[in-house]
Structure formats: C-alpha cells, structure tokens
A and B are shown apart, each in its own frame.
Chain A
Amino acid sequence: MISLTHYLVLAAVLFSIGLFGVITKRNAIAILMGIELMLNAVNINLVAFSRFIEPSDVVGQVFAVFIIVVAAAEVAVGLAIIIALARARQTIDAEELHLLKW
C-alpha cells in the first residue's frame, strides 16, 4: 500500500534535486529546468494531500492546475529572457551574468 508519506518523500526528493540543479548548474536553461522540477514537487504534494486528507474536495488538484499554468507562463518568459541574454551577451552562463550588483 502506498501511503501519504511515500508521496511526500518522493516530492521532497524531487524538490531537492531541482534545488540542487538551480544552485549548481551554470547553464541558465538547466536552472530553469531545476525550477520546473521544484514546482512539480510542490504539485505532487498538493495532489497527495488533497487525495489523502479530503478526497471529496479537489482544492489541491485545482491548485496544481494553476501552478502548471503559471509554470508554463514562467517558462515562456524565462526562455525569452535567456534568448535576449544570449543575443546581447553571447553567453547564458549564470556565473558570467553578475553585473547587477552594488
């Protein structure tokens, strides 16, 4: 039997993998992919809680759908920014993009 804990552990692992990617990857597209993983980990959490705690209600699922929509929009904007960056600076290496300081 798969319990709520299994789902939560899965989500936590997924979230950590995504976070690890965001912090360690240099390629901006890889960072964006890490963020997608973290968002999906949250989605798993939401759906799992909804399924196990209040199955008749679909609040968690609705939230998950919203997050998918927002994530899609975010990816669209993020990719656009990366393309603009690539044109302007000929690189999308996150370590090279550190002019926004003091």
Chain B
Amino acid sequence: MIEYAWLIPLLPLVSFALIVFVTGRNRLLSAGISIAAIAASFVIAAGVGLEFLHNPETVEYGLPWVDVLGLRVEMGVLLDGISVLMLLIVTFIATLIQIYSLGYMHEDPGFSRYYSYMSLFAFSMLGLVVATNFLQLYIFFELVGLASYLLIGFWYEKHSAAEAAKKAFVTTRAGDFGLLLGILILFSLFGTFDFTELADRIAGFDNIPLLTLLTVLIFLGPVGKSAQVPLHVWLPDAMEGPTPVSALIHAATMVAAGVYLVARTYFLFANAPVALTVVAWVGGITALFAATIATAQDDIKRVLAYSTISQLGYMMLALGVGGFTASMFHLTTHAFFKALLFLGAGSVIIGLHHKQNIWEMGGLYKKMPITTVTFLVGSLALAGLFPFAGFWSKDSIFAVALEHGQVALYWLAVAAAFLTAFYTFRLFFVAFMGRPRSDHHAVESPPSMTGVLVILALFAIGVGFIGSPFIKEGFGHFIYFGKPHVEHLHMNIALTSTAVTLAGITLAWLVYSVRVTSFETLSVALKPAYLLLKNKYYIDEIYRWVGERVVEGFGFVLQWFDRTIIDGVVNGTGTLTEAIGRRLRVVHTGDLQTYALVILSGVALLFAILALVDPVKVLKLGGIL
C-alpha cells in the first residue's frame, strides 16, 4: 500500500475538480463523489498504517518538480510515524464529518460548493502532511489557509462571516510571513529544502544564533495557524463557518497543522534550545490564557473554540519541553474528542434551529438523549478524567514537563486543566441539564448525525489506551523523536490531575447545577474579572486600537505626503508645461510668410555667429575635438 500513498491527497483533488467542473448542479452526486474520495483515501491510509505498524521505517519518494541552478525541489511523499498518524486522523475524521454534513447541510443551497471546498481542504491538508520539503509544506500550508478562508466565509452573504473569513486569512498570513522568512534563511544556510537532507546536515549547526532566529521565525507560522497567543484572535471568529467545518478544520485537523509543522521540523528546534523555550512558554501561556476566557463565553461554539486554543497550547507546551510523543498523542486524542464536541454542538444548534447561546438552552437531555450522552463523553475526555482519552494524553504532557524539570510550566498546565474541567462542565450543566431556559422545541438529529457522534464517542473513550502505560509497544513505540518513548505510570501526577479535574467539575456543578451560589451574584461580585474575561482581555479592542490609531495615523501622514509632495511634483510638472505652452503658442501665427521670415532670421543669425566665432576653436575649448 505504501507505494500508493501518493493517491491519498490526490483523490480529494480529483473530487474537487469533478464537483467544480462537472457535477456542481447535482447535489447528491457531488456529496457522493466527495465522500467516496475521502473514504477511499482513508482506506489507503489505513493500508499504509497497517504496513507501518508491521514495519515501522521511514519511506520517502517523489517526483522532481523544480530543478534549476542548484535548486532541486521535489513534490513527494514522506511517510514516517507522524505523517502516517496524521493521514489516519485526517482521512478518518474527514470521512465521518462529510457523512455528518449530509444531515447538517442538506437544506443549504450551497451544498455542492460545500463539498467541493471540503475536498479542497482534504487535498491541502493531506498534501501538507506528506510533504517532503519546506517548499511543498509551505504551499500546502497556504492552501489549507485558503480552504479555511473559503469555508469560514461559506455563508458569505452574512456580513460577520465574510469579516471572520478575512480576519482568519489575514491573521494567519501574518504568521506565515515569519514562516516564509524562516524558510528563506534556512535555505541560504543549508542550501536545501528537503527535510531528510536538512536533518543530516544540521549536525554542525547546533546552537548558532542564526539557527535560533530562523527557528523562531518558522515557529511564527504555527503560532498563526494553531492560534497561539497573540495570533489566536481569528479562531473564535472562525466559528461563523458551518459547524462541521469548525469540527474538522478549526478543531481536529487544520489548527493542528501548526503543531504538526513544529513536530515535522523538530530536528531544527531540538538544536535551538532558545526556540524550544519560546515554544514551551507560548504554548503554556496560550493554554491558561484561552482557558480563562472560555469560562466566561456564552456562545456554545466560542467556548469550544477557546478550549481548542487552550488544548493547542498544551500541544505546543509538550513540544517545547521535549515531549514529542506526548504532543502528538494529545493531538490525536484531541482530534477525536474535540470533533465529537463540535459535532455535538452542531447537533444542538440544528435541534434548536440555530440558537447558539447556552443560556437559551437547558434541559436538552430529555429531548436529545444521544447528543447529550455523547457530548458528556466528549466533555469528560476534554476535562481529562480517567479513563477517557484526554486523561492519558494530558497526563503524559504533565509527566514530560516534570521529567524535564519545567516546574513552572507544569503548574501552568495543571491550572489550565482545572479551568478546562470547570468551563467544560459549565457548558454541559447550563446547556444540557436543568430546565429549559427558553421556549425551545429541541428535537434529536437524524441518524447520519447521531451515528457519527456515537462512533466518535467510542473513540473518545478508547483512543487514549493506545498511549497508556498498559500497552507495551504502544503510541510511543511508533511516534517519537530520537529514541522510542516508553510511557510510565506516574501515580502522583495522575492523582493531581484527577483531583484538579474533579475540583473543576465540582465547582461547575455547585455554581451552575445545584446553584449554591448563583451565577449572577458571582458575576457581580467578581465584576472586573468577569468583564475582563467576557471581553477576551480586550485583545480585539487593542488590535482595533492599534489598527485605527497607530496604523491609520501613520497612513494619514503617508497620505498627506502622497497628496501634497508626490502629487504636487506631478501636478506641478503638468501646470508648468501648460503655462509655458500658453505663453509660447502666440508665436504660432499660422502665417506662412512669418515662418519663412523666422527661418531667414535664424539662418542669418547662424551665419553671423559663424562669422564672429571659429567653430573649430570652440569645440577644442570644450574638449570635444
């Protein structure tokens, strides 16, 4: 199967082209083609995965794409632990979500367009995963950004959706600019884009300042794409897109592309300790920062969006402290339970006819039992309670942080875990439990949606075991950097994390379910903090202020310079020419004989000068002859 791996990204591309050029008018056929393509990709990926489990070694092949003047770039397929893992996650979740979308999107007039974009996204994401070199990676990194832009702005007639799409594209582009700079410096330093060659050549370059600089620049790409502080602002707004899109692109796969990029280029980071520290702290701060915001959001999708940012922060933190395996493991479990949570939220949104405010929900457990149970499973996995998936991956991150002596980051992560449990169950208790908070008539979603929820829920329970200490040759045996990772059972860490998780859940239960103290009194008592969180630390406002005052102020000065100085010179030239012409045109009388007289005078003048001055002497004086 490994020799057919190149088909995995190509099949969705074929589907995209078919839908755009041929079957656009036939809704069901378009959806069928798209689902068939991604399902076929999944089958191939599964075959590749089985072979890899059997014989875990890196395979690389490709076609020469650019070959000029010492620059040789391939378009190829690189299959090692992390790319096989990502292929499996992306194709599997994309298949499920495309099936789910049949129910979610079936009334939408842009049904075919939706599936063409989904195929385009699948192609870009899978191409990114198998990239063999930085150039290929960069191209697909931009392509997933494009697909994300198209899907966030899918309902482009809605102003907020169009704005959100622009914001997402521009914000991630800001990070991608750093990535491009980093890649260019890297090429000037090593003379190749190829990952395998780079990994071979890195030996003599460890710890030089330029390597640190280019690694930090490369990290800017992931900061944008994986929504790390301070470029996280686009992800909550990206929730304007259809909910399955939020689940696939803005929770499970594309936002993980940043983490994947760091993992793919980990040999660079491993040789630049300063850059690695930057990664760890950006991740740690993001994890806690986004978790605090999530506690005060009212929109079900926005809570989940901040939760995603926070979990991505965990993955970055893990990479930063040297936990390559832990990070990839958390990426895997997160992909399943966060896709589950988003699809659950989508089911609720459809059931409530597009209500997203959790304070208008309540009592959904009676009307939507399957959604409620699966959402509870997802919440427990996200909160990280034993034995759900999130428990294993989160604990392996805690363990690796402690192992490498990063105590401050460890406590940062533990604090974020407490908040995670709190906001997750705040959401659950408010939205699903209690009595209906508004006059809603919720109905359970169709089987194409609930079926997917059940499958994902099973994974959210079970997928953690592949990386648990109970399995001898588990996750860490295939996914590692340097030497295979063996997971140990850390009782004290497990107890700490369980304790904080239970504390978070209990607090949420006390405040939002049994109402020991009401939410309203709390929000009044803690008004400044509550407002700060509710307004997301005013980051958007700060950006707006910078945009309006600083950038526009600078623009005002430039505009003045352009209008007065540049335009003045241009217009002045025109005015001057015109004024001269206006004065000189009177000599054009149109009278032939005047002209003849002028010619005669001119000739006479020339002769007079020649009679007085010897031209040869003049030329000699001027140095010409």
A interface residue numbers (CB < 8 A to B): 19, 22-24, 31, 94-95, 97-102
Contact = CB atoms under 8 A, between A and B. Distances in A.
A102 B592 contact: no
Given A31-B593, A98-B591, 6 more contacts: A23-B596, A23-B600, A31-B592, A94-B592, A101-B585, A101-B590
Interface string B577-601: 0000000010011111100110010
Given A22-B593, A24-B593, A94-B593, A101 B600 contact: no
A10 B592 CA distance: 27
Contacts of A22: 593, 596
16 contacts: A19-B600, A22-B593, A23-B596, A23-B597, A24-B593, A31-B592, A94-B592, A97-B590, A98-B589, A98-B591, A98-B592, A100-B590, A101-B588, A101-B589, A101-B590, A102-B585
A97 B600 contact: no
A102 B578 CA distance: 13
A100 B592 CA distance: 9
Contact of B588 (A19, A24, A94, A102): A102
Interface residues of B, number: 10
Contacts of A95: 591, 593
Contacts of B593: 22-24, 31, 94-95
Contacts of A100: 590
Nearest to B593: A23
A99 B591 contact: no
**Which of A19, A31, A99, A101 lies at the interface centre, i.e. has the most chain B CB atoms within 10 A of its CB?**
A101
Contacts of B590: 97-101
Contacts of A23: 593, 596-597, 600
Contacts of B585: 101-102
Nearest to B582: A102
B121 to A, nearest CB: 66
B167 to A, nearest CB: 58
A19 B585 CA distance: 26
Nearest to A99: B590
Would you list the 5 A-B pairs with minimal beta carbon distance, nearest first? A101-B590, A98-B590, A102-B585, A101-B588, A98-B591
A102 B590 CA distance: 8
A69 B600 CA distance: 25
B261 to A, nearest CB: 69
A99 B589 CA distance: 8
A11 to B, nearest CB: 16
A69 B585 CA distance: 37
A72 to B, nearest CB: 22
A98 B597 CA distance: 15
Interface in B548-602: 585, 588-593, 596-597, 600
A91 B426 CA distance: 104
Nearest to A26: B593
A24 B585 CA distance: 24
A95 B591 CA distance: 6
Contacts of A101: 585, 588-590
Contacts of B591: 94-95, 98
A99 B590 CA distance: 6
A13 to B, nearest CB: 16
Contacts of B596: 19, 22-23
Contacts of A31: 592-593
A36 to B, nearest CB: 15
A101 B591 CA distance: 8
A35 to B, nearest CB: 10
Contacts of B597: 23
A37 B589 CA distance: 26
A23 B601 CA distance: 12
A95 B589 CA distance: 10
B604 to A, nearest CB: 11
Contacts of A98: 589-592
Contacts of B600: 19, 23
A94 B585 CA distance: 20
A39 to B, nearest CB: 15
A61 B75 CA distance: 81
A101 B597 CA distance: 17
A102 B597 CA distance: 19
A99 B591 CA distance: 8
B208 to A, nearest CB: 72
A72 B362 CA distance: 110
A23 B590 CA distance: 14
A24 B596 CA distance: 10
Nearest to A34: B596
Contacts of A97: 590, 592
A22 B600 CA distance: 11
Nearest to A102: B585
Contacts of B589: 98, 101
Contacts of B588: 101-102
A102 B498 CA distance: 94
Interface in B133-155: none
Most buried by A among B585, B588, B590, B592: B592
A94 B593 CA distance: 8
